[in-house]
A and B are shown apart, each in its own frame.
Chain A
Amino acid sequence: MTKAATIRKPAVSHIQRKLIPSYIFLTIMSIMSVFPLYWMFTAATNTSLEVAQGKVWFGNYLAENYKNLIAQQNLWQAMGNSFFYAIVQTLATLLICSLAGYGFELYHDRGKDRLFAILLLAMMVPQVATLIPLFTMISKMKLLNSVLAFIIPGLATPFMIMMFRQNSRNFPMDTMEAARIDGLSEIGIFFRMYIPMMKATYAASAVIIFMNSWNAYMWPRTVMKGNAVQTMPMLIANMSNGYAVDYGMLMLGVLFCSLPTIIVFFVLQKQFAEGITGSVK
C-alpha cells in the first residue's frame, strides 16, 4: 500500500505540473471574461467622470445614479415591455418550434427530410439581408409597432427547430406506441407525453429564446417606434449616445438590463446543460 502510494505520488505531481500552464491560461481568460461584469457593477456606483477616468473600484454614487436613471428614463416601462415581449416570444416560439421538431423527427419521411434541409439553408441568410423585405412584409400586414411585429420573424427559427428535432431522437418510440395503444391521440401524445419528457430541451431552448428576445435590438428598432414600446436594449442605446454621456447612469442601466438574463440562466442552468446534450426524462 505504502509502496504503491510512493510510486503514484510522483506521477500525480507530474500531471499537476503539466496542468499548471493550462490553469494559468484559464485563470487569465476567466479574469478577462469576468472583468466586464465586475466593471459593470463598480461603474454603476461611480460618477460619470470617475468611470471615464478609469476607476475600477466601488464608489458611493449608486443612489444618485439610480435617482438620475429613474428621473431621466422610462426604466420600468422599458423593463415591462422587454419582459412582455420576451415572455410572449419564448412561449410562442417554444410551442411552434417544438411541434415542428417533433413532426420532422417522429413522422419523418424522405420528403420531410428534404424540406428540413431547405429549412437549414435559411440559417445561412444573414439577418441584415432580410431586414428590408421583412419590414415591407410587416408593413403590408399593417402590423408595424405591435407585439406581433416583434415576435413574428422569430417564431419559427431553423436553429430551434433543429434543436428540437435532434433532441427528439432520444424520445423513445416505444412510449409513443404504448400511448397510441392506450388510445391517446397524436396531438395528445405531444402535449401529454412529449412535452413532459422533453422538459430539459424546453428549458434549454427557453433560455436561448428568452436571451435572444431580451437582447434583440436591430429588428425592434426597425419596426417599433415611440417611447411607449421601447425595450431595454433600445433604452440603453439611447443613453449611450449623446454629447455628454453619463457613464455611471448608463452602467446602472446596463446592470438592470443584464440582471434578468443572468437570473434566467442561473435558475435554469442545470436544465440548460441537460437540454443542450439532449437529455430525456
Chain B
Amino acid sequence: MTKKIVALFIAMCLMLGIASAFAEKLTVTAWDANFNGNALQAAADDYKANVDPDFELEINIVSGSSDVENDITNAGSSGDYSLLSDIVLFQDRYIKNFVENYPDAWVSLEGADINWDDITAVKQSYSTIDGVHYGAPVDNGTAIMAYRVDLLEQAGYTIEDMKGITWEKFLEVGKAVYEKTGKALLSMDGSGNDLPYMMLQAEGVSLWKDGKPFIVGNEKLRRVVELLIEMEKEHVLILSNDWTGYTNETIMQDQVAGVLNGNWIIPTMTQVADNAGKWQITTMPTLDGGEGYATNGGSSLYITGNCKNVDLAKKFLAYTFGGSKETYDNALRTGGVVTCCISAGQSDVYSEGVPFFNNQPVYKDITEMGAKIIPVEESPFHYVLRGYLGVAMQQIKDGADIDAALEEAQTATEFYMEGMGY
C-alpha cells in the first residue's frame, strides 16, 4: 500500500513537472512596480483572459532602467545571457548601442503582428534600426505643459492665452504671475536640466547632428539658453539643485504655477491632492510662436537572446502593447501609463475627464499631442551632453561668456565620447 502511495506521489510530481514545463510562461524585468509593473500586469491579465488561460508572466522589479542597462552590459561583456529575462524594459535611447555592441543579445520584432502605423512616429524612431523594429512601446513620454489656472487668473490670464505663445510671451506672463502670486511659472532639476532638449525638440531641432554633439553653431539652442537664464533671473524659472528638489520642493511644496515635462510627471503632481481641479494642460510655447510638441523619457520592451519562447514573446507583445485597448485602459487606470498607440488613446477610458485637471480629458489630449511630435536625432550620450550643458548654464548664470561656455560643453562631450571609443 505504501509503495502504491509513493508511486502515485512520484507520478503526480512528474505530471506537475511536465505540466509546468509546458506552461506558457515568460519572464520580464522592469522598474517601478507602481508604474511599469502595473502596466505589465495589465497586459498579462489581458493576454491570459483573452488569448491563453495558461499564460503566466513573471515580473521582476529592479530599481531603475540603469539596473537593466547594467545587466545587459555585464551579460554582454561576459557573453553569458542566462541572467537576462525573456523580455526587458529600458529607456529608449540605448537600444541602438546595445544592438551594435551585442547583436546576438536581441531578437527583433520582425514577424510580430503589430500595426506600426498605429504607433507614434517618435516612439518608433528610438527602437527601429535599419528599418528593423526591436522595441514594443510601453509608455508615452509626450511632454505636457501644465498650468495652475487659478494662479494664471490672478495674474489676468487664462489657459487659452497660453496656447501657441512664444517663449517671450511666456516670460512676460511668468513675470506677472510671480508679481501677483509669488510663484514661478516653471521649474526643473538644475543638475539634469531637460528644458533645452524639450524646447529644441518642439522646434524640430536636435542637440545632435550626424552622431556628434550639436551645441556650437546651434542658434536655436543659444536662444533657448539665453531665454532660460533670463527666466531664472526674473524668478519665472526655479532650477533646483537635484531631482528631489525639483519634485519634492518645487512641485510638491507648491512653489510653481507651471510644470513642463514628460507626462510621467503627473503622479508627482497629483500627490498634492489639495490642488485637484486647479491644473490644466496645453501644448508648450515655441521660440517664434505656435503650438510646440516634445517628448521626454519613455521606455520600450525588448526580447532578449535568452528568451526560450520567442514566438510566445512576440505574440504577447503584439497582442497587448501592440494596441490592445484593454491593456492600455487598465495600464492607465492602475499605473497612470499613457499609451503611444494612437487608436488605444481614443478609448472611452482615455476620453474621460480627469478631476485633478479640471475634468479635462488629459490622457486623450496627450496621445493626440504625441502623434504630432517631430522625431529628431537621438544619441546614447544624451545624458552626458545634458550634464555638460547644465554646467555651462550654471557658468553663464554666474557671468561666463555664453559662447565660451557652450563651446566648453561641446568639447567636454566630444572628449567623453572619444574616451568611450566614439
Contact B32 A225 (CB under 8 A): no
- Interface check A49, CB cutoff 8 A: yes
Contact A132 B74 (CB under 8 A): yes
Contact B248 A238 (CB under 8 A): no
Contact A243 B35 (CB under 8 A): yes
Contact B83 A225 (CB under 8 A): yes
CB distance from B263 to the nearest CB of A (A): 10
- Interface check B153, CB cutoff 8 A: no
- Interface check A72, CB cutoff 8 A: yes
Nearest opposing residue in chain A for B83, CB measure: A225
**Complex Cα gap A151–B63 (Å):** 22
- Interface check B384, CB cutoff 8 A: no
Could you tell me how many residues of chain B have their Cβ less than 8 Å away from some Cβ of chain A?
A: 37
- Give the residues in chain B near A234, CB-CB below 8 Å: 62-63
How many residue pairs link A and B with beta carbons under 8 A? The number is 88
**Complex Cα gap A72–B37 (Å):** 11
Interface centre among A48, A223, A238 (most CB of B within 10 A): A238
CB within 8 Å of A: which of B252-283? 252-253, 264-265, 267-268, 270-273
**Complex Cα gap A111–B210 (Å):** 60
Q: Is the interface of A mostly helix, strand, loop or mixed?
A: helix
Contact B61 A139 (CB under 8 A): no
**Complex Cα gap A53–B83 (Å):** 40
- Give the residues in chain A near B58, CB-CB below 8 Å: 226-227
Interface centre among A54, A73, A222, A244 (most CB of B within 10 A): A244
Nearest opposing residue in chain A for B27, CB measure: A226
Q: Give the residue of A222, A225, A238, A244 whose beta carbon is less than 8 angstroms from that of B268.
A: A244
- Give the residues in chain B near A72, CB-CB below 8 Å: 33-34
- Interface check A241, CB cutoff 8 A: yes
- For this complex, into which size category does the number of interface residues on chain A fall? 20 to 34
Contact B33 A225 (CB under 8 A): no
- Give the residues in chain B near A240, CB-CB below 8 Å: 63
- Give the residues in chain A near B74, CB-CB below 8 Å: 131-132, 135, 222
- Interface check B368, CB cutoff 8 A: no
Please, what's the 1-or-0 string for B59-88, where 1 marks a CB less than 8 Å from any CB in chain A?
A: 111111001001100100110101101000
Nearest opposing residue in chain A for B262, CB measure: A243
Q: Give the residue of A54, A132, A226 whose beta carbon is less than 8 angstroms from that of B77.
A: A132
Nearest opposing residue in chain B for A224, CB measure: B83
Contact B31 A242 (CB under 8 A): yes
CB within 8 Å of B: which of A140-166? 140, 144-145
- Interface check A27, CB cutoff 8 A: no
- B residues contacting A by CB (< 8 A) are 27, 29, 31-35, 58-64, 67, 70-71, 74, 77-78, 80, 82-83, 85, 247-248, 252-253, 264-265, 267-268, 270-273, 336
CB<8 Å pairs between A and B, sample of 15: A49-B252, A49-B272, A52-B247, A132-B78, A136-B80, A226-B58, A238-B33, A238-B61, A238-B63, A241-B32, A241-B63, A241-B64, A242-B34, A244-B35, A244-B271
- Beyond A52-B247, A238-B31, A244-B336, 6 extra complex contacts between A and B, CB < 8 Å: A48-B271, A52-B252, A52-B253, A222-B74, A238-B62, A243-B265
